[in-house]
Amino acid sequence: MSTPPPLRVGLVGYGPAGSFFHAPLIAATPGLTLDTIVTGSPERRAQAAAEHPGARFADRADELWARAGELDLVVLASPNRTHVPLATEALDAGLPVVVDKPLAATAAEARALGALADSRGLLLGVFQNRRWDGDFRTVRDLIARGELGEVRRFESRFERWRPQLKGGWRESGDPADIGGLLYDLGAHLVDQALTLFGPARQVYAESAAVRPGATADDDAFIALTHTGGVRSHLWMSAVTPRLGPRFRVLGSTGGYVGHGLDPQEAALRAGRRPGDGTPWGEAPPTDWGTAGTDDGPAAPVPTLPGDYPAFYAGVEAALRSGTAAPVTAGEAAAALDVIEAAHRSAATGETVRLG
């Protein structure tokens, strides 16, 4: 049986998201080829040409729509404010789309995009790569195997120590930029909590702009009550001089605590690539979490390998089979329901009920 030709991918944006995450993961995925990179920056074009010498280039996204028949997928790694308009244009041009998180500013916009994709019979996926973090995969596996009993509380932190602003749209307080940590790190943490425990029925949140000159939230907390009864407590911060555990999961028979971050982002930023002949996504034993209770010895739990390549492998399979993307617009909308409620709760001090 002959091997089908690779699916041709157009990548819009070659900043950190495009260059460190999407481009190398696309290039490493069997069945996909990085065909065209859109960037108006001469410096980024030169970087991309050195890193992906077989790719073509365009200055603007609309150049892709003009030759939509030459592509099989468009990936948007552009600033947040462009996600909805560019995804709409791509779908109107007949192209399946993967959009970096957050898909949109509001759940209504996300659902409208999902409806447009459905009406066109096109894939619309959302890049929630941290579903494939090794430590999250480990937590998911422990819960699925009942190793902790009935989970009562799930604690998740994504904290950094960055006391000075870096600048850029991610730190912008302009609502049109969709900046701040609730949209940035919060999109990951909320997605993980909903993936583990299902829909949320109640949201309480606190957020603040702490750093000098900050106009967008850089320190936030969300408390979710899931419809199944589990409580998720989620912290995200750029102003944490002493980091807490990445995960603490408390169940009826045991708990799990894990520190540190999945190594895949650091590996990608350092220029490593999946499939380069060395183990990928493996955490050293010194970084393994522990599980047990305080009245008995806590046992180390080997961290499952992280697997960011699984996202684009799933996209490739979905495009060929006509099935749903690994992360759907509906799932992204559910997370945005929570993020919108968190903004309302933080502004009013009130708990917000969903549904």
156 is written with which tokens? 């998740």
DSSP structure class, residue 1: -
Average pLDDT, stretch 281-287? 95
Average pLDDT, stretch 6-14? 98
Count Cα atoms within 13 angstroms, Cβ side, for 131.
Answer: 21
Sheet containing strand 7-12, strands side by side: 56-58, 32-38, 7-12, 73-76, 97-100, 124-127
> In this model, does residue 222 exceed pLDDT 90?
yes
> In this model, does residue 219 exceed pLDDT 80?
yes
> In this model, does residue 8 exceed pLDDT 80?
yes
Average pLDDT, stretch 144-155? 98
Band of residue 275 on the pLDDT scale cut at 50, 70, 90:
confident
Count Cα atoms within 13 angstroms, Cβ side, for 20.
Answer: 12
pLDDT value for 1: 67
Per residue in 23-69, pLDDT tens?
999 999 999 999 999 999 999 999 999 999 999 999 999 999 999 99
DSSP structure class, residue 148: T
With contact defined as beta carbons under 8 Å apart, do 161 and 261 qualify?
Answer: no
DSSP H helices, 270-349, are: 309-321, 329-348
Per residue in 306-330, pLDDT tens?
999 999 999 999 999 999 999 999 9
Count Cα atoms within 13 angstroms, Cβ side, for 260.
Answer: 17
Coil vs helix vs strand at 124 = strand
Per residue in 182-203, pLDDT tens?
999 999 999 999 999 999 999 9
Band of residue 343 on the pLDDT scale cut at 50, 70, 90:
very high
Mean pLDDT rounded to a whole number for the chain: 97
Per residue in 90-132, pLDDT tens?
999 999 999 999 999 999 999 999 999 999 999 999 999 999 9
Q: Give me the domains of the chain, ranges plus CATH numbers.
A: 7-127+311-324 (3.40.50.720), 130-308+337-353 (3.30.360.10)
Global pTM?
0.96
- In whole angstroms, give the CA distance from residue 172 to residue 189: 20
Count Cα atoms within 13 angstroms, Cβ side, for 21.
Answer: 25
- In whole angstroms, give the CA distance from residue 53 to residue 329: 32
What is the DSSP pairing of strand 151-159 with strand 124-127? unpaired
Count Cα atoms within 13 angstroms, Cβ side, for 146.
Answer: 0
- In whole angstroms, give the CA distance from residue 47 to residue 78: 17
